[in-house]
Structure 1
Amino acid sequence: MSEFILETENLTKYFAGFTAVDGVNLGVREGTIHALIGPNGAGKTTCFNLITKFLQPSSGTIRYAGHDITRSTPHHVARDGLVRSFQISAVFPHLTALENVRLALQRPTGLSFHFWKSSRVLERLHERAYELLSAVGLSEFTDTLAVEMPYGRKRALEIATTLALEPKVMLLDEPMAGMGHEDIARVSDLIRQVAQNRTVLMVEHNLEVVANLSDTITVLQRGQILAEGSYDEVSQNPEVREAYMGTGDEAEA
């Protein structure tokens, strides 16, 4: 039995002669927060899209919970507990926070498209929806339209809808993108909280967030793994400092 809940072996993706991901061997341990970082063009998003099956690899293998998912579809891996968020908030803007979470909860019940049903049919989902909103600090936004919520709160709502799918592994694509300092602190605390009983793999540019949250960091450069380890280990790696953080005075700034 592998020590990793999610792993890739020689994962490779070509685009018209360009190698975006080149022989990546990634292992994510169960119950950890694992960050995938690197400079622009390093292959992070492509790697994420391969793992979550929004792209098919040119070669290589992807395993989740011991099963080969290389040729699986996004909805199959999501149903099995491998669930991702997106860099751009994916909530329904003209539904309330409660309605967004309830809609996510409907999927496992077989009621996903039963919009014409009496509201009484869906009332049994409310208790769990309220619990999820409370868990991400959105109790006061229950009846607020998503479009009217502050940006950081929308990201928290997206995490709530992701949690509604009962993920074993959450994949977060730049969860702090576009946030101010206060929202970053709030969502960082939220990620730490939801990671207590599940695994998190995230792409994130904010190195302070990565340093504070991550158990393991994998650094990509030109589609290949440049370094891996704790933040202290990778931040002191001369190749990482040159490729990602700058060198000399710039690295120390």
Structure 2
Amino acid sequence: MHQQDEPRVVLSARGLGKDFFGFTAVNNVDLDVHHARIHALIGPNGAGKTTVFNLLTKFLQPTRGKITLLGTDITNTKPDKIARMGMVRSFQISAVFPHLTVLENVRVALQRPNELAIQFWLPLSSLDRLNGRAEVLIDELGLTPYRDTRAADLSYGRKRVLEIATTLALDPEVLLLDEPMAGMGQEDVRMVADIIREVARHRAVLMVEHNLSVVADICHHVTVLQRGEIIAEGDYATVSQDPRVRTAYMGTED
């Protein structure tokens, strides 16, 4: 049987490190994120997951190492340019406009890739040409029934879905999700997990997530951090059996 080629690497880090006033927060991290795959970054509290996220998205500058996005070295690139190059981060705290409707939020997000963001003198009706793309995004993420609902009136889970919709408006090749399931009930967790799975059909997704049942269910590859270093990687079944991972989470190998 012919073995399918592995999807291309779209984001990689080599020897990534970050020091804060002599303290090493991240040390020698190598990471490969593949197109059309969901890659989880997990580890106990204080493992360095958020710091790695901040390094990859350039909100922090690495002390050492190299980061490559779509074949281009972005180690010294500023964060605003990263988004235009194809990597977008969705933050842990929802970043939508509460008093705008779902449609209006997505239209605002679409302004930037359609070069309307700086044309502030244009009438509001000029955004009408974005309606078609906005409607498609809203439909793809199951938000059509809430199209004219204010973001403030959505459930917590639907707000997170709307936030994903606004990041997808930039049409990223790589989507970084920071604890997308945080604070959700089980029903919302299942809904958002299904949406992330669908989103990843056409782009890479790298996510920090504490809900290990979600990681086991939807992630193709898992990287486990402890004290800023990688202690295991592979599929969930492999890393969950690693004695170092069990010790990191439970404090014992048993």
Cα deviation digits, residues 142-174 of structure 1 (max 9, x gap): 121111211000000001001110010110000
> How far does residue 212 in structure 1 lie from its aligned partner after superposition?
0.4
Match of 2:186 in 1: 181
Q: Is the 8 A contact 2:243 2:253 kept in 1?
A: no
Q: Which of 99, 102, 108 lines up with 2:104 in the alignment?
A: 99
Distance of 1:32 and 1:238 partners within structure 2:
26
Question: What residue is the counterpart of 1:170 in the other structure?
Answer: 175
Cross-structure match for 1:123: 128
Shift of the alpha carbon at 1:116?
Answer: 4.7
- 1:141 has 2:146 as partner: yes
Q: CA deviation at 1:246?
A: 5.1
Alpha carbons 2:47, 2:228 under 8 Å: kept: yes
- CA–CA separation in structure 1 for the residues paired with 2:202 and 2:243: 35
Aligned length: 248
Query: How far did residue 79 of structure 1 move?
Result: 0.5
Which structure's residues are more often helix, by fraction? 1
State the secondary structure of the residue aligned to 2:214.
helix
**Which of 191, 213, 220 is the matching residue for 1:215?**
220
Alignment partner of 1:196: what SS? coil
TM-score (ref. length: structure 1): 0.94
Q: Taking every aligned residue pair, what percent have the same amino acid on both sides?
A: 61
Aligned twin of 1:224: 229
* Partner residue, 1:20: 25
| Structure 1 outlier segments of 4+, above 2 Å | 113-120, 245-249
On the 8 A contact 2:35/2:202 being kept in 1, the answer is no
1:159 paired with 2:164, answer yes
CA drift of 1:77 comes to 1.1
Distance 1:130 1:87 in 2: 25
CA displacement at 1:115 relative to structure 2: 4.7
RMSD: 1.4
1:117: Cα distance to partner? 2.5
CA contact (8 A) 2:36 2:200 kept: yes
The answer as to 2:211 corresponding to 1:206 is yes
Q: Which runs of 5+ in 1 are unaligned?
A: none
SS of aligned partner of 1:26: strand
What is the SS of the residue equivalent to 1:89? coil
Q: Taking structure 2 as the reference length, what is the TM-score of the superposition?
A: 0.94
Q: For each residue in 1:157-199, what CA deviation from the matched residue of structure 2 results, as whole angstroms up to 9, or x when unmatched?
A: 0010011100101100000000000000000000000111111
Residue ranges of structure 2 left out of the alignment (5+ in a row): 1-6
In 1, Cα distance between equivalents of 2:114 and 2:169: 12
2: CA distance, partners of 1:34 / 1:248: 25
